[in-house]
Structure 1
Amino acid sequence: MKKILFSISILTSVAYFSQEITLDKIYSGYYRGKGISGISSLKNGENYAVIEPGGIAKYSYKTTKKEGNIVDGKFQSYIFNDEESKILLLKESEPIYRHSFLGKFDVKDLKSGKILPLNNGNFVQEPTFSPDGTKVAFIADNNLFYQDLDSGRITQITTDGKKNSVINGLADWVYEEEFGHAKLYEWTKNSDAIIFVKSNESEVPEMSITIYGKQLYPSEMKFKYPKAGANNSVVSAQLYRLDSAKIMALDLSNFKNYYIPDVYRTAKADEIILITSERLQNASDVLKVNTKTGAITKLFTESDKRWIDTDNVTLEFLDDNSFIWGAERDGNRHLYWYDQNGKLKKQITKGNWEVTNYYGFNPKSKEVFIQTTQEGSINKVVSKVNIETGKTTLLSNASGTNSANFSHNYKYFIETSSSAAKPYTYVLKDGNGKTLKELQNNEEQLKKLQADNMVTKEFFTIPNEAGDQMNAWIMKPKDFDPNKKYPLFMFQYSGPGSQQVSNSWDQGNGLWFNHLVQKGYIVACVDGRGTGYKGTEYKKTTYLNLGKYEIEDQIAAAKWFGTQSYINKDRIGIFGWSFGGYMASLALTKGADVFKAGIAVAPVTNWRYYDSIYTERFMRTPQENPGGYDDNSPTTYANLLKGKYLLIHGTADDNVHFQNAMEFSEALIQNNKQFEFMAYPDKNHGIYGGQTRPQLYQKMTNFLLENL
């Protein structure tokens, strides 16, 4: 045994010194990059905080020097109150779903040094300071509470919270997954009231997932999961006033009220904004609530003939209570300026490009700070735009993917940038985009990769049958010979509004793709119809027919590659995860004459099995659109499977249920189709933990080496 272990250690050591990118190196952390964690500007605009191993550190923008720790200790995250006199510190956490987690928090008074364990040191969810900094609201056991920070007294606001039945102030599974956040309550600006969403999920069908573990009898995880066309939670908006300690149900009967995706505070006391929607999600009401009386005024309705991105709301109230709103009205996502009564003042940004992120507004200069695709759809740049004149100033690099964290006064920002050829750098700039100092780079990471013969992506476009030019990238071997024919391995995701062809550092599968290139493959990716950042029409073409045009474009791309002199058209494979796994499954059925091999990880194989909010946003319900569901399901085409197909799924996937893999497997079996199947016990949609990822990627590599 000792001799065998010694031999393995020698082989590993040799692998580390070989000039290639290996799976061992990837999963050992050998190529791991460096970052800056938890960047947050302090209120004075002259300092910023970051999370370091020894505590929450304070730095000067002007000198970039550390000025000590705001708090000592080890913390996962932190939140200041508005005055920065107190800080909420996350000490311990347990994940629940994608965004939600249980946490143990301390509140520290930065003046007195007093530390108060929130909720007596017990787990809570979504704690939030009141604007006056005297209280913290939180959720425990599906009920809403607040704690007075002077006396420590805890007040329970709701009492009817119950698992898998009633939730107060917190998203249910599908809201969290598809609207992108777990918190569903907000304080008023004057801290005298809270508006929260109550979700009654008692009629939502329950999902059961077997958990195997090492126990004698497997247990079950049960949670409410509304599938397409099934019952959703019945939601209502509730107003709680601290002075009366009473809850008032708000009357939304005259407005769209099937979903309540968001709750926002305005710049005025006694006001809260609710974003509401009907089930089809093709229109959203923006409602202003008077928190003294409960009266509701509709500011306006945002509508679209297909869908509204209810998971991507941009809304900020300015000092005069006018507000900035993001919408796709003119064919691209842009910003609009409204007065406090919901009357449109003007469109702020215009052009054949999109606003991809909103950072804030500087009242002194009258400028909004945004991330856009102004320099091409595969790039993201940071700009500022004067809301009165429309003048735009580029602040970041003109290429690559750039994001910003601005100081409170907008005099400085920390730019995080990367490209397909260069990992992340962190640079301090002034408010006009002038570089002041590089704070962190990843030259060491890049040198290791270059020493191991890393190749970078080449960007170009490919035509589809509809006449569009699809963004694409390709990775070729270092010793590429244009006269040689190579096997092609295509990667894609293809989901609505997504983007895989991006001029950014690939922290996902990029290193694995390099490993495959060094094994003699060409790797490529194409963003077909349905993907994002090329305009609303390109993104929403797939409405009511998820999968139809997406797979047509992947097939067209594969055929185009097959005509290139350096590609062996008889050795084309495809890979994807989640929506990408769905596409890979369609490729090996509807595209069986084009693709020789495919790997589908955690795929949807029938949209009837996926959640209501996501699926119905793009497809409507199965009752309304049965053909859209069935005509684009891989299960429908199981009889067409020809190539080598590897199906992979985690048995505890709470997102895309293992049921998808089981149904497709049964369809393939009944059609006498041979395929490979790997189930990962008790693993969720991410399929990770321990040695899971190394084993998974070795299995996929072996499959390709044997079958492509």
Structure 2
Amino acid sequence: MTRQVSFPRQYARTQRFSLGAPRAFTVSPDGTRVVFLRSRSGTDRTGVLWVLDPAAGREFPAADPAVLLSGAAEELSAEERARRERLREGSAGVVAYAVDSAAELAAFALSGRLFVAELRGGTARELAVPGPVVDPRPSPDGRRVAYVAGGALRVADVEPAAGAAAGETADRALAEPGGPSVTWGLADFIAAEEMHRHRGFWWAPDGESLLAARVDETPVQRWWIADPANPGRQPAEVAYPAAGTPNAEVTLALLGLDGSRTDVRWDRERYPYLAQAHWSAGGPPLLLVQSRDQRRQAYLSVDTGTGATSVLHEEDDAKWLELFPGVPAWTPDGRLVRIADEDGARVLVVGDRKLTDGRLHVRAVLDVGDADVLVSASAGPDATAPETGEAHVYRVGEQGAERVSQERGWHSAVRSGAVSVLVSAVPERAGAAARVLRDGAEAAVVTSYAEAPVLTSRARLTEAGARRIPCAVVLPTGYQEGDGPLPVLMDPYGGPHGPRVVAGHNAHLTSQWFADQGFAVVVADGRGTPHRSPAWEKAIHHDFAGATLDDQVEALQALAGEFPLDLGRVGIRGWSYGGYLAALAVLRRPDVFHAGVAGAPVTDWRLYDTHYTERYLGHPEEHPKVYDRNSLVTEEGLAETAGEVRPLMIVHGLADDNVVAAHTLRLSSALLAAGRPHEVLPLSGVTHMTPQEQVAENLLLLQVDFLKRSLGMK
């Protein structure tokens, strides 16, 4: 008899049920190919590049790492490890790819080597080029591949020149770094970690030149991350731009395949951040640049002949300007596409026309077509009915918005022409379904090999309190009304860019497992979390500690009138911003929270990065009291703590280069000096992610054991 695997073990070995699920879709313009990544099982970490023929319903592998590497283990360069950390990518094999404009050729890196795959026939081969290769991308015509190696931006021909020796590849550098702290064609740390700009070069539509970023990290302060478990190893040097310190210098140049170089010029004193770039047949290169305080930004077009830029549109905001996926962009007829906060709503603007209003809260642009724009949106502040935890796909045109996704759930899409891939997570089904639609009708379904969870989540989505805080409440499987009140576990993220109240089954699996250990689990998305309204998100301006904590308390107390919550036994757990919130709750509201688990918490905001921290709290030299008030380790921050001492477990990966372990060490020192008992669990070799199977599994078990002990549960 086969013993059923436990949820913690399954959750860890399937990497949160992501393995085996199809992702990273591309649709060919002619609609005959859907390209995607997927491993061969729900526990296989190795990504394979696949192609689906929707008409025939046939899938075939276009590139299999096991074949291409002849079974050898994958070797990652430091640059590739850093890129994957920024992407929170824990898989192996083919984890990213790029295609030409016809989606006939794909380029990708394996073990620092460059490979291309013919997507019509499914054959893949290596191009012999200098390495280690990072972020290869084909030219629009598929004749060449640009990539980064050794800090240089290089270009290789896909086909060998006439008379070339077997395996010989024509390859050349378009830009060399010229210094140990300089790279061409890569995103800087801030762009990749906070702006979600993970690339540093863009092909011209005609394939004869590239727009490339030059990053100079010389001004950035250096930190050293050691491995205390292996004292013989040299610490890793990290260029980390903490709040109030210098950023990397990011500039742009137009690099011609003929060897020409034209520097791009804009007012970098006023707008030092390169937030996004776009280059398509709809117009010249398009840039979005931001001021350091992120209260001003400009959309610029680039003159490819001179490198001069002209301002298309400028925006300002008293608090900050948000960045959004998919914009800026050009329509095929040359109109600027952007998302803006206007009249209390987040709207889609094309050219000089606002195409949506407060009924929709636009989250991202997914595709720009000839007649419409495909967007992701949730219910806006003027919606007639709330859609708690839902995100839908809409076609937006001059005549209004039409919803594409129909089921209650969390949806996204990729589109090219008449064919789209609609990916849907719904509360009633595990995982996510990927359906290929042609002119709105289902043409195929992309197979998922993801494992079915050993438990079923039964989250109830609701709103709580006067602020109508979105919440999910999860009770133990089989709980009956007469079973009485339950110890409560608050399970938030609670901060910017991290929605946790999601109308999808898998989103609440971990909460369901904790509930099945005897808790009533509450997830609350208070002020500062995304996808409701600009005012909701910006309510945390200069006030992390107040708004986010107040909303957790309000949600908890409001829900107690409807659900069986024992307010005398309340725990809280969280990771990253959620870890900050968990520690904050236990230290500042011990009258409400009786135990906490803080994972990778930011405890001193002066130690976190520039773009994120200064967006919300301002520059530390200009607003020192704001930083002190929102800190857990400063004298003012600790002075906010009062009342009874509550049990607190702090967990931190010692290899974390995003929220460095100094946050936990400083908090522990401050608590020790204040005579406040606590526990610290250091994770050797673990970064901000926890992809290691045993670590991820045991973290869940240790947390539930600590919470049960602390709350007096049998």
TM-score norm. by structure 2 comes to: 0.85
Deviates more, 1:153-162 or 1:676-685: 153-162
Q: Is the 8 A contact 1:472 1:525 kept in 2?
A: yes
Higher mean C-alpha deviation, range 578-587 or range 525-534: 525-534
Q: In 2, distance between residues paired with 1:111 and 1:574?
A: 52
| Alignment correspondent of 2:275 | 261
Q: Is the 8 A contact 1:266 1:321 kept in 2?
A: no
Distance 1:42 1:608, change over 3 A: same
Bigger Cα displacement from structure 2, 582-591 vs 370-379: 370-379
Question: Which of the numbers 249, 256, 272 marks the counterpart of 1:234?
Answer: 249
- In the aligned structure 2, how far is the partner of 1:380 from the partner of 1:658? 35
**1:442–1:330: structure 2 CA closer, same or farther, 3 Å change rule?**
farther
Structure 2 SS opposite 1:333: strand
Post-superposition CA distance 1:91-132 (Å, at most 9, x none): 33xxxxxxxxxx422235679999764462622122222223
Say whether 1:355 aligns with 2:354: no
In the other structure, the counterpart of 1:64 is 57
Equivalent in the alignment of 1:368: 373
Q: CA RMSD in A?
A: 2.9
Equivalent residue number for residue 95 of structure 1 = none
Name the counterpart of 2:141. Answer: 132
- Structure-2 change in CA distance of 1:137 and 1:15 (3 Å): closer
Q: Distance in 2 between matches of 1:56 and 1:559?
A: 49
Per the TM alignment, residue 25 of structure 1 is displaced from its structure 2 partner at its CA by: 4.8
The whole-number CA distance in structure 1 between the counterparts of 2:175 and 2:237 is 24
> How far, CA to CA, are the matches of 2:208 and 2:526 in structure 1?
50
Aligned to 1:471: 470
Residue 379, structure 1, aligned to residue 390, structure 2: yes
Per the alignment, do residues 129 and 57 of structure 1 end up closer, same or farther by CA in structure 2, a change over 3 Å counting? closer
Q: In structure 2, do the counterparts of structure 1 residues 377 and 267 end up closer, same or farther at CA, with 3 Å as the change threshold?
A: farther
Which of 158, 162, 173 is residue 175 of structure 2 equivalent to?
158
- Distance in 1 (alpha carbons) for counterparts of 2:450 and 2:282: 48
- Give the TM-score taking structure 1 as reference length: 0.86
Q: Is the 8 A contact 1:189 1:265 kept in 2?
A: yes
- Offset of residue 309 of structure 1: 1.5
1:409 aligns with 2:402: no
**CA positional deviation for 1:425:** 4.3
Aligned to 1:487: 487
Post-superposition CA distance 1:208-257 (Å, at most 9, x none): 1002465x6132011110111011112222232333x2433333238733
Give me the whole-angstrom Cα distance separating, in 1, the residues matched to 2:593 and 2:297: 42
1:86-105 maps to which residues of 2 (within 5 A)?
Answer: 86-92=105-111, 103-105=112-114
Kindly provide the CA deviation profile for residues 60-84 of structure 1, in whole angstroms up to 9, marking residues without a partner as x.
3234234x55567566144332244
Amino acid at match of 2:421: I
Alignment of 1:368-517 (within 5 A): 368-374=373-379, 376-385=387-396, 387-390=397-400, 392-406=401-415, 408-410=416-418, 412-426=419-433, 428=435, 430-431=437-438, 433-436=440-443, 438-440=445-447, 445=452, 448-449=454-455, 454-463=456-465, 467-477=466-476, 478-482=478-482, 484-507=484-507, 510-517=508-515
1:389 is aligned with what amino acid?
Q
Please name the residue that 2:671 is paired with: 668
Would the alpha carbon gap of residues 535 and 431 (structure 1) be closer, same or farther in structure 2, given more than 3 Å must change?
farther
Q: Distance in 1 between matches of 2:57 and 2:227?
A: 49
Q: Describe the shift of the 1:58–1:587 C-alpha distance in structure 2 as closer, same or farther (beyond 3 A).
A: closer
Q: Deviation digits for residues 572-617 of structure 1, max 9, x if unmatched? A: 1111100000001110111111111001000000111100011011
1:224-303 map, 5 Å = 224-243=239-258, 245-253=259-267, 256-267=270-281, 271-303=284-316
Q: Residues 580 and 601 of structure 2 are in contact (CA less than 8 Å); yes or no, is this contact kept in structure 1?
A: yes
One-letter identity of the residue aligned with 2:22: I
Q: Of the candidates 190, 197, 200, which is equivalent to residue 184 of structure 1? A: 200
1:579/1:481 CA distance change after superposition, 3 Å: same
Counterpart Cα distance in 1 of 2:139 and 2:274: 22
Distance, in Å, in 2 between the alignment partners of 1:223 and 1:169 is 19
Partner of residue 170, structure 1: 186
User: Retained in 2: the 8 A contact 1:545–1:629?
Assistant: no
- Partner in structure 2 of residue 620 of structure 1: 618
Which is further off, 21-30 or 40-49? 21-30
Flag the 1:620–1:667 CA change in 2: closer, same or farther, 3 A. Answer: same
Deviates more, 1:568-577 or 1:373-382: 373-382
Deviation at 1:183, TM superposition (A): 1.5
Instruction: Note closer, same or farther for the CA distance 1:625–1:482 as it changes in structure 2 (3 Å cut).
Output: farther
1:50–1:227 CA distance, 2 compared to 1 (3 A): closer
Q: Counterparts of 2:118 and 2:157 in 1: how far apart (Å)?
A: 13
User: d(CA) in 2 for partners of 1:308 and 1:30?
Assistant: 34
Mark the runs of 5 or more structure 2 residues left unpaired by the alignment.
41-47, 69-92, 162-168, 380-385
Q: SS at the partner of 1:358?
A: strand
SS at match of 1:157: strand
| One-letter amino acid of the counterpart of residue 90, structure 1 | A
CA contact (8 A) 1:483 1:565 kept: no
Q: Is the 8 A contact 1:353 1:376 kept in 2?
A: no
| Partner amino acid, structure 1, of 2:363 | T
Report deviation, 1:15.
6.1
Give SS of 1:189's match. Answer: coil
1:635-663 Cα distance to aligned partner (Å, 9 max, x none):
22275361111111111110001110011
CA contact (8 A) 1:425 1:442 kept: no
Aligned AA for 1:238?
A
Contact preservation (8 Å) 2:174, 2:257: no
Which residue in the other structure is 1:5 paired with? none
1:556 corresponds in structure 2 to 554
Deviation at 1:686, TM superposition (A): 1.4
The 1:207–1:480 alpha-carbon spacing in structure 2 relative to 1, beyond 3 Å, is farther
Q: Secondary structure at the match of 1:328?
A: strand
Displacement after TM superposition at 1:53 (Å): 6.5
Alignment length (residue pairs): 656
CA apart distance, 1:178: 0.8
> How far did residue 58 of structure 1 move?
3.8
* 3-state SS of paired residue (2:506): coil
Inter-CA distance 388–442: structure 2 relative to 1 (3 Å threshold): same
Q: Is the 8 A contact 1:599 1:647 kept in 2?
A: yes
- Pick from 687, 692, 704: which aligns with 2:690? 687
Find the residue that maps to 1:170 and give its secondary structure: coil
Q: CA deviation at 1:28?
A: 5.4
SS of corresponding position for 2:106: strand
Match of 2:238 among 206, 209, 223: 223
SS at match of 1:693: helix
Q: Match of 2:345, SS?
A: coil
Query: How much does 1:438 deviate?
Result: 4.8
Identity across matched positions, percent? 23
475-484 vs 25-34, greater mean Cα deviation: 25-34
Residue 45 (structure 1) shift: 1.2
Q: In the alignment, which residue of structure 2 is the partner of 1:81? A: 100
Structure 1 runs not aligned, ≥5 long: 1-9, 93-102, 339-343
Judged with a 3 Å threshold, the aligned counterparts in structure 2 of structure 1 residues 336 and 416 are, in CA distance, closer, same or farther, namely same
Distance change >3 Å, CA 413–CA 160, structure 1 → 2: closer
| Matched position secondary structure for 2:342 | coil
Q: Which residue of 2 aligns with 1:100?
A: none
Give, as a single letter, the amino acid of the residue that structure 2 aligns with 1:421.
E
Whether contact under 8 Å (2:132, 2:150) holds in the other structure is no
